[in-house]
Structure 1
Amino acid sequence: MNKYLNKKFVIIDAMSLAYKAYYAFISRPLKNSKGEPTSAVFGFTNQLLKIIEDTKPDYIAVAFDSKEKTFRHERYENYKSSRQEMPEDMVPQIARIKQIIEAFNIPIYILPGYEADDLIGTALKKAEKLGFDCYAITPDKDYIQLITNKIKIIKPGKSTDEIEMINEEKVLSEFGFEPIQMIDYLALVGDSSDDIPGVAGIGPKTALPLIQKFKTVENIYKNINQIEKQSIINKLIENKENAFLSKELATIKIDSPFDINFDDAKFTNPDLNKLLKLMSELDFKALVSKVKKIFSENDEIIETKKEEIEIPVQEEVKQLDKTKVKYKLILNENDAKELAKKLSQSNIFVFDTETDGLDVFNIKLAGCSFALKAGEAYFVATNPHEESNSLFATDLSDRLPVEKFIKIFAPIFKNETIKKVCQNGKYDIAVLRTHGIEVENFFFDTMLASYVLDPDQKHGMDDLATKYLDYKTIPLIDLIGSKKTPEKIFEVDPVILSDYSCEDADITFRLYEIFKQKLIEEKVDKVAYDIEFPLVKVLEDMERTGIRIDVQSLKSFSNDLQILLDNYSNEIFKYAGETFNINSTQQLQTILFEKLKLPVTKEKKTGYSTDAKSLENLKGVHPIIDIIMDYRQVSKLKSTYADSLPELINPKTGRIHTTYNQSLVSTGRLSSNNPNLQNIPIRTELGKEIRKAFVAKDKNHVILSADYSQIELRIMASICGDETLMKAFYNNEDIHRRTAALVFNVKPDEVTPDMRRKAKEVNFGILYGLGPFGLKSRLGISQSHAQEIINNYFNSFKNVKKFMEDSIEAAKKKGYAETLYGRRRFLKNINSNNRTIRQFEERVAINMPIQGTAADMIKLAMIKIFETMKKEKMKSKMVLQVHDELVFDVHKSELNEIQPMIKEKMENALPLNVPVLTEIGIGDNWLDAH
């Protein structure tokens, strides 16, 4: 008889649960009475008890990652390379978690050179063969590949009461393919969390039909000619090795070399004496009652432990209770008019739109919710087009036609006397604008208020509701089944959709009431009301306007780059004496270090490094190095820009519409994606060709570039008050030549180009806390020479050194660095005992006041320029923002008027103690203008 048949085997991915627990308490970390951090231990223990209580396992185990590098790192040196180090205060908590697990008498699986994924995969497959019903506890989607009729995944939610069971049927309905095909799916789309590259340019929308049709990556390549789009074929061919490498990296091993004795995993009662002693040390009195409830037969032992100390424990997270709120669904014209009247008499209201997607140029409105006070909200359900009901599975004829919604509510949104509030208002404003509704007096954005209060916290509504209101919002996935099917919103029962949207408006109103006070209390209200909130409409207009791309120019450039790549490849093969895959780290290692016997500059567990820095150190040693570096640069230009930019053109507008993220970068800088404008290369001649493809709207327009000149150095001079530095800017001197003259003790006219280059590196390096080692690497000089240059710099600009020291000291006392305008960035580890972590935050303390002030300055300029252009009803448009530069599509008739206006607004956006200079250029394309 099989003693394991149909018994429950549960295995836990320890680190994922530990991290989840740690970040759940990030806003109010737990410590015991001795000051020991306990957030991760408390959350993990709480979750473990919940797992035991809910699953009632017969057998249970826990798996940890090992500290050693794995076989995946050996295959791909960038594997998990972007992952941040474990937070310092979490490190000792892992040992405590292991003590807790041992007290529960649960075995720990760990194997050097293997990840927990592989141990769990191996254990599950062995357990399945023995007849177990298997459950893996993890939030990681990689595990989906293991699911069968006997293996299921339990995904922990945001609170200990929320878990999601994932089985074969759920995978098929949510992802559209079988569980095992998750491997092939990840091989195509990659996995940013693990730095698995995937196929460049292939996203979920492209990957899904390929997987559904061809099943596996191998079969895709076998039948590649059956793919209709040539652009997809090209991407697959160019990235073939990455596809197969990614599949290998994404595959969880199910044959890891470790022995499993399932009898050791048989779940019995914990060692209560040991467990209670640990709970006493950790001050986990609140968890004793849970232990008592689950292991009630040991009440006597538990009752004898009275010495635990009380700690603050989160209250039970609240959820929607319709008896405590007043939510109303509106379907007809009369009720809509009554609501509009109520809104028109208000001073302020929250609104939130519901749509069938994210592309604002091709979007349908499913409804809009409004809140005038906490606990009360209204949802107007709309029918996007009366004549298009046949397009939807659900009859929408009982909902308010969108044309009538526009007629009734457009005047309310346009009313400048009523303040409007949103969570991520840029999107809602864009949705309404697409429907011909202009939103005036946009007053407050809770997402941006969260960003101003603490740029490093999470700003999504779900996270904010949990953190500030102890409230769990209704997940959208509960309504539509998957984030990948937003169009299903029209199939949702209007009552359910109303609850969901009313809750969003209601929670936003509650957050608004909290944040408006917090902004004042923390003295960051000026940043919010003067900069971030007014910038929303500026960015929405820029995104909507977009910019024209010269497609033919890019295609021609792409062809030129391919010829260059072919030539470089042939040269590389000639020096190597054989053909090989230049993009393969392993093959390149073999050629450089085994065949050509080049000196090793950096060794990793995965082999000898061939990253950019290592190759840079080998320059001049062998001619193959320079060619490989050129090859890599050209390859990136081709795939990332020349080939990708044309695919981003919106077919409706014929233009590229980048998306600006206002709440991502901690310094206050804007970021952008699709395309990422901040990373477009400009230093090389080939890189400049990319800017050349950004062109004016038509023959009646030109591109105007307005760029702050050396703004960060000017800000530093203004803050530190160094007389020598300030004098150079007042005299409009070449600051790098002036610096070189002082540092190298020569007259300005004796400064050589090499001296100026070195001085420039010092000037900008100082802003980022660059030390002698960093300067040595940048300039290719000895460390002693680098130290000498830095010493001379500080002797010449004495106040700069003081500014740096004062910035670090102030940040250590206050716990944050701030800009001239008052924007803050919190530095939680600036007093850390860990030297590496502490020095990083010290560099941030120096740089944040400078880079953050530059960000504030250009944002203020954008707002003032936009308001002036709107007031003057100009035909010209602001279209791009990149670092310290603004780009405009200017109507030629307005050139004489707009140039001095832009220059004046930029130079006076945020007055400094030194002159601010803006350089303006004009051309038919961005390159010529710049």
Structure 2
Amino acid sequence: MPKLIVFDGNSIANRAFYGIRVLTNREGQFTNAIYGFLNILFKFMDEEQPDYICVAFDLKAPTFRHTQYDKYKAQRKGMPEELASQMPVIKDVLMAMHMTVLQLEGYEADDIIGTVSAQCEAQGMLCTIVTGDKDAFQLVSDLTTVKLPVTKMGNTATETYNVQAVFDKYGVSPRQMIEVKGLMGDPSDNIPGVAGIGEKTALNLIQAFQSIEGVYQNIDHADIKKGVREKLLADREMADISRSLAEIHREVPLATDLTHYIIKPYDAAKLMPLLEKLELKTIIARVRKNQPSNQPIQEVEAVDILTGLTCMELNTPEAVKKLKISDSMTYKLHLEQHAGAKRIGGISIFANGNAYFIPIDGGFFEQEMIASVQHLFEDASIIKNGYDMKSDIVILRQWDIRFDGIGFDVMLAAYLLSPNSAGYPIAELAQTYLSATATNSSYFDVVALSKLCPILKKQLVDNEMLALYDDIELPLSTVLADMEIAGFKVDKKQLNEFSTLLEGKIKDLEFDITALAGESFNINSPKQLGVVLFEKLGLPIIKKTKTGYSTDVDVLEKLKDKHAIIPHLMSYRQLAKLKSTYADGLVHVIEPRTGKIHTSFNQTIAATGRISSTEPNLQNIPIRTELGRQIRKMFVASNDDYVLVDADYSQIELRVLAHIAHDPVMIGAFLNDEDIHRITASQVFAVPLAEVTSQMRSNAKAVNFGIVYGIGEFSLAEDLKISRKEAKRYIDSYLMKYEKVKQYMHDTVESAKEKGYVTTLLNRRRYIPELKSSNFNMRSFGERVAMNSPIQGTAADIIKIAMIAVHD
């Protein structure tokens, strides 16, 4: 049976816009809604395999519902400019894909969708509606299904609604959803409904009496409570108006010939330049994948980077050993997952104007094949260019190959040029800089890398970042590789004993919590805990979630003086995390071969230039509690002849702020080795140094570091547990005393607005598209980023320089 899929354009674009962080191209065009919209489009095209497709949009003009009820959607604010600027581009992309865009003045997208689904049903055709709007449930039938993208646990999933699914969820038929909405209204559309009637009551009434008309015909029925009856009688007319507003109109004057919506080949001559201008690299690849099979996509000056090259497979150790390279080579390790670990599946090399592929099949000759390339990677006179060479150094060391002669790392360069990107796949870089589409060829990546090296190096020069790359990022990558290889030794015996100790303390807390609650329950279940705290013990409700009461750390913090059970719960959670994440978790990641923990250091994730650690994260080992500090003591030197040395900078970010802002008070304090927090307390609270109390110093410390992070009065008030008015007074007083800091903050934000980015002292850039936002909160966030990124980034750069110096 043929199938049509119709997308609710505004709903999907809106969902994409708010669900994906800010993305822009180099021209400053916002692209996150476009990117998310197309990803959803392709996802459902892949899953549904439709024969026909169309996308419905709203127009700005009033509809017949506004004529019927002048307050319809009156409360809605206009579409954010960042989203509005993307809507016409989405339509341009769709039209270049030869997908029918449907929009008609006087009607909403819902009405267009309803009409299209009715036309499908009339012709016996399956119809799938993709929308984020539950209003579409009224359209569900034996032939029409609604697909609702939803976010659960941070992941996007799809809820599918057929007739049975609607009934299972609401206990009414799809068409009866109109009746339900007529009674309960819809605040998002400003449909009033019957005042005081919510979803639960509305569903009960329609389940019992089938329709609004049926409810009023049985208004005196015993099942309708007195209070509900009074509300219904008071709003009889509004119930009918609301029902009319809620019903989707299914007779919009559209073309009745559904062949208008048949899936056609894309107009690549229009589509590809458009996507390239938007810099949507992964979308370009998906466009090619989703091109209808009945007509292959027309290539638009696609660059074949392998044309004219000699590509040779060297499949024996003897053939590899004959490969002579005089001065430089570009290479790519092809990694595979094997038994939970990475192994080398092959190596591509570009040298002497030719491309070579060396297969490592994991078979009998694996050792010999890898040994045959050892001389190439260990010869310092052969400069090696590649991609993520830090990881390669670590992997090659597992084969006793000691990498030497590091050259140009494309991934590091791409990161410096575009630090806000989510990743830097070779295929995307090739598309962006070479207009080349990735192939399955074993030679593509290495040839692309060889061509990317000079291009990215020139861009580093143009952006005055080559020194940052040559002097910091590249040498740091080898330092981090050596750290990963060396690993961290932990005392496994102590960890196991500590786990046992924590288990005993946790059991004691479980006993106390159960006693205070007066019943046994699952402490780890937020739902059960919520019932105990807010229903049985009657504690004040601080916050609710979709599934019940919130019991997160912020809620418990606000309740800790309300009942003796709360401090016990907070301790329980702290100890449970210590046990699972550290005492037990660290034991599980000890590498049996070395007896150490080998974390991965991420050099290309944080836009500020900071290094992060994963698998496991060793940067968040607890230190604030005595039990937490015990974990740190279990990291030990590799043998008895060694000791662990801890090197760090004192208050580095405040020192950087003093230097960048040229503030004489702060600079004087540091030069004279004075307590900067006591100095700040004296300045902010207008008291002599001798009269600064420990509480004043603590508050001044929060202000000092808060300023570095661009903190606002709300966050400072939360941190210090003071009023927003008092927090504002602290900040204002600080900026009045440290005038140069205030001037720095103002000048930096203004410069960032003009340039679109900020820089560190060593010229690391961070682009801040949020500064262009019309949304106040987004723009304020961008201003905070502008103020703190030069400080955090410069501090990160200085620490990296120190790491290199200590290593060397």
TM-score normalised by the chain length of structure 1: 0.61
Where does residue 369 of structure 1 map in the other structure? 348
What is the identity, as a one-letter code, of the residue corresponding to 1:611?
D
- Give how far 1:555 is off: 1.8
- Give how far 1:660 is off: 0.7
Query: For residues 497 and 46 of structure 2, what CA distance do their matches in structure 1 show?
Result: 64
Correspondent of 1:351 among 313, 317, 331? 331
Query: For residues 267 and 433 of structure 1, what CA distance do their matches in structure 2 show?
Result: 66
- Could you give the per-residue CA deviations for residues 828-847 of structure 1, whole angstroms, max 9, x where no partner exists? 12132211001111111111
Where does residue 551 of structure 2 map in the other structure? 610
- Give how far 1:416 is off: 2.5
Query: For residues 26 and 648 of structure 2, what CA distance do their matches in structure 1 show?
Result: 42
Q: 1:860–1:134: structure 2 CA closer, same or farther, 3 Å change rule?
A: farther
What is the identity, as a one-letter code, of the residue corresponding to 2:703?
V
Correspondent of 1:436 among 396, 400, 404? 400
Query: SS of the counterpart of 2:591?
Result: coil
- Could you give the per-residue CA deviations for residues 336-374 of structure 1, whole angstroms, max 9, x where no partner exists? 3442x2x1x23x2211123443899x7654432111377
- Give how far 1:381 is off: 2.5
Alignment coverage as a number of residue pairs:
648
Task: Give 1:97-246 correspondences, 5 Å limit.
Answer: 103-104=101-102, 194-195=152-153
What is the identity, as a one-letter code, of the residue corresponding to 1:435?
W
Query: For residues 377 and 641 of structure 1, what CA distance do their matches in structure 2 show?
Result: 47
- Give how far 1:425 is off: 1.0
What is the identity, as a one-letter code, of the residue corresponding to 1:467?
T
Where does residue 71 of structure 2 map in the other structure? none
What is the identity, as a one-letter code, of the residue corresponding to 2:461?
I
What is the identity, as a one-letter code, of the residue corresponding to 1:381?
P
Where does residue 524 of structure 2 map in the other structure? 583
Q: 1:89–1:373: structure 2 CA closer, same or farther, 3 Å change rule?
A: farther
TM-score normalised by the chain length of structure 2: 0.70
Query: For residues 835 and 134 of structure 1, what CA distance do their matches in structure 2 show?
Result: 41
> Do residues 406 (structure 1) and 399 (structure 2) align?
no
Task: Give 1:813-832 correspondences, 5 Å limit.
Answer: 813-832=754-773
Correspondent of 1:89 among 82, 90, 97? 82
Task: Give 1:479-498 correspondences, 5 Å limit.
Answer: none
Where does residue 256 of structure 1 map in the other structure? 166
Query: For residues 835 and 790 of structure 1, what CA distance do their matches in structure 2 show?
Result: 20
User: For the Cα contact (< 8 Å) 2:433–2:452, is it kept in 1?
Assistant: yes
> Do residues 735 (structure 1) and 688 (structure 2) align?
no
Where does structure 1 lack aligned partners over 5 or more consecutive residues? 1-5, 32-36, 65-85, 139-149, 155-190, 198-245, 274-282, 291-312, 390-395, 476-498, 868-930
Query: SS of the counterpart of 2:445?
Result: helix
Query: SS of the counterpart of 2:622?
Result: coil
Query: For residues 49 and 553 of structure 1, what CA distance do their matches in structure 2 show?
Result: 52
- Give how far 1:535 is off: 1.2
Q: 1:252–1:108: structure 2 CA closer, same or farther, 3 Å change rule?
A: farther
Where does residue 188 of structure 2 map in the other structure? none
User: For the Cα contact (< 8 Å) 2:55–2:100, is it kept in 1?
Assistant: no
- Could you give the per-residue CA deviations for residues 435-492 of structure 1, whole angstroms, max 9, x where no partner exists? 22222221211111010011112312122122222222236xxxxxxxxxxxxxxxxx
Task: Give 1:259-658 correspondences, 5 Å limit.
Answer: 259=174, 286=270, 316=300, 318=302, 323-333=307-317, 335-339=319-323, 341=324, 343=325, 345-346=326-327, 348-357=328-337, 364-372=343-351, 376-382=354-360, 389=364, 402-403=367-368, 406-407=371-372, 409-457=373-421, 458-474=423-439, 499-500=441-442, 502-603=443-544, 606-658=547-599
Query: For residues 51 and 619 of structure 2, what CA distance do their matches in structure 1 show?
Result: 54
Query: SS of the counterpart of 1:439?
Result: coil
- Give how far 1:798 is off: 2.0
User: For the Cα contact (< 8 Å) 2:54–2:101, is it kept in 1?
Assistant: no
User: For the Cα contact (< 8 Å) 1:104–1:270, is it kept in 2?
Assistant: no
Q: 1:39–1:735: structure 2 CA closer, same or farther, 3 Å change rule?
A: closer
Query: For residues 453 and 614 of structure 2, what CA distance do their matches in structure 1 show?
Result: 28
> Do residues 785 (structure 1) and 710 (structure 2) align?
no
- Could you give the per-residue CA deviations for residues 273-329 of structure 1, whole angstroms, max 9, x where no partner exists? 9xxxxxxxxx99937999xxxxxxxxxxxxxxxxxxxxxx99748476755433211
What is the identity, as a one-letter code, of the residue corresponding to 2:380?
E
Where does residue 685 of structure 1 map in the other structure? 626
User: For the Cα contact (< 8 Å) 2:355–2:447, is it kept in 1?
Assistant: yes
- Could you give the per-residue CA deviations for residues 524-570 of structure 1, whole angstroms, max 9, x where no partner exists? 11111111111111111110110111122222222222222222223
Query: For residues 799 and 49 of structure 1, what CA distance do their matches in structure 2 show?
Result: 52
How big is the alpha-carbon RMSD for the aligned residues of Structure 1 and Structure 2? 4.7
Decide which moves more: 706-715 or 16-25.
16-25
Q: 1:572–1:316: structure 2 CA closer, same or farther, 3 Å change rule?
A: farther
Q: 1:63–1:585: structure 2 CA closer, same or farther, 3 Å change rule?
A: farther
- Could you give the per-residue CA deviations for residues 567-589 of structure 1, whole angstroms, max 9, x where no partner exists? 22233333332222223233233
Query: For residues 774 and 23 of structure 2, what CA distance do their matches in structure 1 show?
Result: 22
Where does residue 292 of structure 2 map in the other structure? none
Query: For residues 55 and 326 of structure 1, what CA distance do their matches in structure 2 show?
Result: 42
Where does residue 904 of structure 1 map in the other structure? none
Query: For residues 581 and 9 of structure 1, what CA distance do their matches in structure 2 show?
Result: 48
Task: Give 1:854-893 correspondences, 5 Å limit.
Answer: 854-867=795-808
User: For the Cα contact (< 8 Å) 1:736–1:760, is it kept in 2?
Assistant: yes
Query: For residues 12 and 591 of structure 2, what CA distance do their matches in structure 1 show?
Result: 39
Query: For residues 473 and 715 of structure 2, what CA distance do their matches in structure 1 show?
Result: 35
Task: Give 1:725-764 correspondences, 5 Å limit.
Answer: 725-764=666-705
Query: SS of the counterpart of 2:716?
Result: helix
Q: 1:284–1:402: structure 2 CA closer, same or farther, 3 Å change rule?
A: closer
Query: For residues 415 and 676 of structure 1, what CA distance do their matches in structure 2 show?
Result: 34
Q: 1:745–1:584: structure 2 CA closer, same or farther, 3 Å change rule?
A: same
Query: SS of the counterpart of 1:702?
Result: coil
User: For the Cα contact (< 8 Å) 2:612–2:619, is it kept in 1?
Assistant: yes
> Do residues 699 (structure 1) and 640 (structure 2) align?
yes
Identity of aligned residues (%): 38
Query: SS of the counterpart of 2:601?
Result: strand
Query: SS of the counterpart of 2:646?
Result: strand
- Give how far 1:807 is off: 1.6
User: For the Cα contact (< 8 Å) 2:55–2:102, is it kept in 1?
Assistant: no
Query: For residues 585 and 317 of structure 1, what CA distance do their matches in structure 2 show?
Result: 57
Where does residue 27 of structure 1 map in the other structure? 25
- Could you give the per-residue CA deviations for residues 682-719 of structure 1, whole angstroms, max 9, x where no partner exists? 11222212212211212222221112111111111111
What is the identity, as a one-letter code, of the residue corresponding to 1:90?
L
Query: For residues 600 and 23 of structure 1, what CA distance do their matches in structure 2 show?
Result: 32
- Give how far 1:773 is off: 2.0
- Give how far 1:672 is off: 0.9
Query: For residues 864 and 314 of structure 1, what CA distance do their matches in structure 2 show?
Result: 54
Query: SS of the counterpart of 1:471?
Result: coil
